[in-house]
Structures are given as C-alpha cells and as structure tokens.
C-alpha cells in the first residue's frame, strides 16, 4: 500500500460521524462573513449597512489575484460591515447579514440533477471558479483559481484529488465523496480540462473502504480518472505528502510549489464545489462541516451555510457536552481552539471537534530527553526539537537556516513527544517570525529592481 516516505504518525482515528449522512442545517437567522477567510489579501466589501442582498450575490470582491470573492450565503439586509471578534477573539472585518426569506440570484441552478457535459474553454472554467470564490476547502484555503493558473514555462502532468482526510475525527470529505461522488468526478473532469492534463488520481486512505469502492465503480465512466487507496498515515492529506504518496515525487523546499513536479492537488470538497460553480453557477456559500467529539450526543455531518455561528452547529448536534474542555475549529491535530463560539463557519472550516475531559488538557511539559522521536515523526525531515529550542531563544537566523519555512505545522512532533513539550507552539512562532523577516527582506529589495 502506498504512502509518503518519511515520518508521520497514526493517531486514533475516532471517525465517529463516518456513517452519518449529510444533514442540511436550517438557514441561520444571522450570518457573519469575514472578509479574510482565505490565504492572500482579504476581499474588499462591496456592500454597506442597510443594503439588501440575495443568496449567492457577490458581497466582497477579490483584492488582486491572490484573493477570493465572497458571496452572500443568505438573503436579507446587511446589518454592519465592522470589526468583529473571530474564534480566537481577535478582531476581523466581517459583514453581518440578517436573514429575510430565501431569495436567490436568478442565474444559480439549484436543481440536483447531474450535469455532465462541460463545453467551456480552460480559461473560461478558471474564470468561473474565480468568480465563485472557490478556495481550498481542506483547511489551507488557498485560492483555487491561483492553483489552476499554471505559470508560463511550467506544465501540469497530473491532477491529484485529495480525498485522504487524514485528520482524526473529521469526515466531511468522506461523506462528500460517498454521497456526491459522481458530481465530484465531473468536477475532476472539469479540473483536468482546466489545467490540460489527461490523468487524475484520487488519493483515498484505506480507512474509507466504502468511498474507495463507490468511487472505483463510478470512475469506470470517467476516462483517465484513477482511484488510489493509500495506507492510513497522518499527515497524508498534506499537499507534499500526498504528491509523494501518489507519484513518488518530492516537492523541493520553498519557494518551490507542487507544480514544479508537475502536480496540481485539489481537495475532494473543493472539487465538488468546482462542479457546482462551473455547471450550476453556484458560488461557494455552503460546505459540509463535521461536528464531532467523544462527548457530543450526536456527531453529525452538516451542510452549513458560510457565516453560520458555530454555536448553532453545536446546538444541532445536541449541545455542548458538560465536560467540554476545548472546542476546536478543525481537527485535533491542526485545528485551533476557539474562545468565541459566536464566530462563524468559514470556507476552510471542515469540522468542529469538541474535546472533553482529560482529552482536552495538555499534559505538563517535562524536559527534552533527546530521544529524537520528533525527528523520526517529522514528515518534512526537520528537527523539531532543535527548531523549537532555537525559536525559544529567538535565534531567527539559525531557525531559517534549519529550514523552518518547510514546516507544514502538522503537529506530528508534538503529538509524539514523550515529554509533552509544546514543540509546535515554538516552531510555529519561529516560522511566523522568519516568514515575516523574509517578507521584509523582499520588500526592502523590491524598490531597487
């Protein structure tokens, strides 16, 4: 069974909601839409307080190429465009809309029947994806149109669809593949056409045999699409890990991108969103969110409009468990704990994991015993103990030389550490600081050119 060559861990899978069919969450009364919910420049608001908006209407426009459009997930009145606290309690520009009825933009096709044929040119497909504001829905929220716009001089050889979902607990991609598999495969065809390749591989971890069987059956009707089962190993859903697992090619360290080895990777839910955008004119206004956790009464997969308060989802799954210690936006490995449950579901929010009791608490950190478990667990071949130590000492030049920018923040090091050291906390700080220094350096060099 294929997997990536270096490092990785296998945490408890805990896919509690794997057998739960996608449920449609009732329309929220009020939504908050952050303008920056993707990598790149935050979008520019196109509406003001008091404006009436329809479902699917553009409310914020991409600021430049590396940005994404944002559409209204409900119809109603804009209540404010203001700084609002996000899940981490930090202020962020958000558009607040109060719902009135359910009126849609006319061009959107809301029927559920499959529309297979796509006669658009590649450029038109990418333009449609850009208009729909699609970003990577696995969590990284990289604008999809940027990924598909292959820079001159480079050539895509293969499209890889990320159906790995290696993060414990989460099942939103799994359910999407299972229930909306055919639509997703049409999306794969569209993406293949957009980047001009005739081969696509859908990578799925072996713990989803039903999805593998279902898609293998469906893929017979699609030319050039191959389903690749993969060994269960975290973080296989990382872009570079998946490329290595599926093609055996190693993406060089930054600033190299997957396209340098001829690969374009797209998440399964994103691919479904691409199908809807291109074939049905449906902008990215809803997504499947897994609401899960050991203490949760009914773990669920909820089809949720963007901007819905997370509290609403928790209520739909039976409320917050009494011994809840942490509510995590994302999965337990890469997610971020939240302090504000009124914060909204965003494009990159694939799940909400509620950790209860002892699971929620970190154990007290001891001393590094140089066992090097973190080194063997690191899928990027870094030395986390060293990076964290140097970051703690604020030796930014040294951490940069140790390739800290290659870190994908998967958390394997921290989860494997027998001394419970907060390795990732320090590494993340070091990475952020070094990235800032690199940006400052580039900005200083730019005027000279």
Partner 1 sequence: MEVLFYTILTLCVLGVLAAVILYFVAQKFKVEEDPRIDEVEKMLPGANCGGCGFAGCRGLSEALVKRDDISALFCPVGGGDTMKAVAAYLGKAAAEKEPQTATIRCGGTCEKRPRTNKFDGAKSCAVAASLYVGETGCSFGCLGYGDCADVCTFGAITINPTTGLPEVDPDKCTACGACVKACPKHIIELRKKWPKNRAVYVSCVSKDKGAAVMKACKAGCIGCGKCEKVCPFGAITVEGNLAYIDPQKCKLCRKCVNECPTGAIKLVGMDPLPKAPKAAPAAAPAAAPKAVEGPATIALKASGTNPLSLLNAKKAVMDSKADKSVEGTVVALKESGLKPLKYMR
Residue ranges in contact with partner 1 by CB under 8 A: 85, 88-91, 336-337, 339, 361-362, 392, 422, 425-426, 428-429, 432
* CB closer to partner 1, 247 vs 414: 414
Nearer to partner 1, 91 or 155 (CB): 91
Q: Which is nearer to partner 1, 303 or 342 (CB)?
A: 342
The sheet with strand 30-34 has its strands ordered as 30-34, 91-99, 76-85, 52-53
Residue 383 half-sphere exposure toward CB, CA atoms < 13 A? 14
Nearer Cβ to partner 1 (18/431): 431
Residue with tokens 């009914």: 298
Distance CA 22, CA 25 (A): 9
Q: In whole angstroms, how close is the CB of 54 to partner 1 at the nearest point?
A: 33
Cβ closest to partner 1, residue 83 vs residue 256: 83
Closest CA to 206 of 161, 236, 175: 236
Structure tokens at 291: 């609401």
Q: Measured from the CB atom, is 178 or 310 closer to partner 1?
A: 310
- Interacting residues of 216 by C-beta distance below 8 A, sequence separation 6+: 227
Task: Write out the DSSP string of 362-395.
Answer: PPPP-------HHHHH-TT---HHHHHHHHHTT-
Nearest approach in angstroms of CB 183 to partner 1 is: 37
Q: Which DSSP helix (H) or strand (E) runs through 72?
A: none
Q: Minimal distance in Å, beta carbon 281 to partner 1?
A: 38
CA distance 291 to 320: 11
Task: Give me the least distance between CB of 22 and partner 1, in Å please.
Answer: 30
Pairing type for strands 300-305 and 286-292 reads antiparallel
The rounded distance, in Å, linking the Cα atoms of 249 and 227 is 18
Minimum gap (Å) between residue 318 Cβ and partner 1: 23
- Maximum distance among all Cα pairs of the chain, rounded to whole angstroms: 63
CB of 434 to partner 1, least distance (A): 13
- What DSSP string runs through 131-157? HTT-B-TTTT--BHHHHHSPPTT----
In the complex, the smallest distance separating the C-beta of residue 160 from partner 1, rounded to whole angstroms, is: 31
| Token pair 């293969």: residue | 158
Cα separation, 92 vs 94, in Å, equals 6
Nearest alpha carbon to residue 37 among 75, 63, 76, 74: 63
Q: How many CB atoms lie within 10 A of CB 356?
A: 17
In the bound complex, what is the minimum distance in angstroms from residue 449's beta carbon to partner 1?
A: 28
- Contacts of residue 317, defined as CB under 8 A and 6 or more positions apart, other chains included, come to 291, 292, 296, 297, 298, 299, 300, 302
The smaller minimum CB distance to partner 1, of residues 13 and 425, is found at 425
Q: How far is the CB of 396 from partner 1 (least distance, A)?
A: 12
CA distance 96 to 427: 35
**CB nearer to partner 1: pick between 209 and 436:** 436
The closest alpha carbon to 45, from 93, 98, 100, belongs to 93
Query: What distance in Å separates the CA atoms of residue 161 and residue 177, rounded to the nearest whole number?
Result: 11
Q: Return the number of the residue (6 or 90) whose C-beta is nearest partner 1.
A: 90
Q: CB of residue 89 vs partner 1: minimum separation in angstroms? A: 3
Least separation, in Å, of the C-beta of 88 and partner 1?
4
Nearer to partner 1, 5 or 418 (CB): 418
Q: Between 5 and 89, name the residue whose CB sits nearer to partner 1.
A: 89
């Amino acid at each position: 069974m294929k997997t990536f060559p270096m490092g990785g861990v296998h945490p408890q899978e805990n896919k509690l909601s794997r057998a739960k069919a996608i449920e449609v969450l009732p329309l929220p009364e009020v939504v908050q839409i952050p303008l920056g919910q993707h990598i790149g420049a935050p979008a520019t608001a196109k509406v003001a307080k008091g404006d009436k908006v329809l479902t699917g209407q553009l409310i914020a426009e991409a600021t430049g190429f590396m940005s994404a459009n944002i559409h209204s997930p409900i119809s109603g009145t804009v209540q404010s465009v203001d700084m609002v606290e996000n899940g981490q309690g930090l202020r962020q520009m958000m558009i607040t809309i109060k719902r009135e009825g359910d009126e849609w933009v006319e061009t959107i096709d809301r029927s559920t029947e499959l529309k297979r044929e796509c006669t658009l040119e590649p450029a038109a497909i990418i333009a449609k994806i850009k208009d729909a504001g699609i970003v990577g829905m696995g969590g990284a929220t990289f604008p999809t149109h940027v990924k598909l716009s292959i820079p001159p001089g480079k050539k895509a050889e293969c499209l890889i669809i990320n159906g790995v979902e290696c993060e414990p607990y989460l099942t939103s991609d799994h359910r999407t593949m299972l229930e909306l598999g055919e639509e997703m495969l049409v999306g794969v065809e569209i993406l293949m056409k957009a980047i001009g390749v005739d081969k696509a591989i859908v990578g799925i971890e072996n713990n989803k045999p039903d999805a593998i069987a279902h898609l293998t059956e469906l893929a017979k009707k699609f030319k050039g699409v191959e389903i690749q089962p993969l060994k269960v190993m975290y973080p296989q859903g990382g872009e570079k890990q998946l490329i290595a697992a599926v093609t055996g090619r190693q993406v060089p360290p930054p600033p190299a991108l997957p396209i340098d080895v001829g690969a374009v990777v797209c998440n399964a839910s994103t691919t479904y969103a691409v199908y809807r955008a291109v074939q049905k004119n449906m902008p990215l206004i809803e997504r499947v969110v897994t609401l899960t956790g050991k203490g949760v009464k009914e773990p669920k997969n909820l089809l949720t409009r963007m901007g819905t308060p997370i509290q609403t989802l928790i209520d739909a799954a039976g409320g917050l468990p009494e011994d809840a210690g942490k509510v995590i936006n994302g999965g337990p490995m890469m997610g971020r704990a939240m302090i504000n449950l009124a914060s909204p579901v965003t494009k990159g929010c694939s799940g909400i994991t509620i950790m209860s009791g002892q699971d929620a608490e970190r154990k007290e950190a001891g001393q590094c015993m140089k066992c090097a478990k973190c080194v063997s667990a690191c899928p990027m071949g870094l030395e986390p103990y060293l990076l964290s130590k140097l970051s703690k000492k604020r030796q930014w030049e040294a951490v940069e030389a140790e390739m800290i920018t290659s870190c994908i923040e998967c958390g394997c090091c921290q989860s494997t550490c027998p001394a419970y050291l907060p390795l990732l906390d320090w590494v993340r700080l070091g990475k952020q600081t070094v990235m800032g220094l690199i940006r400052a350096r580039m900005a200083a060099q730019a005027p000279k050119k």
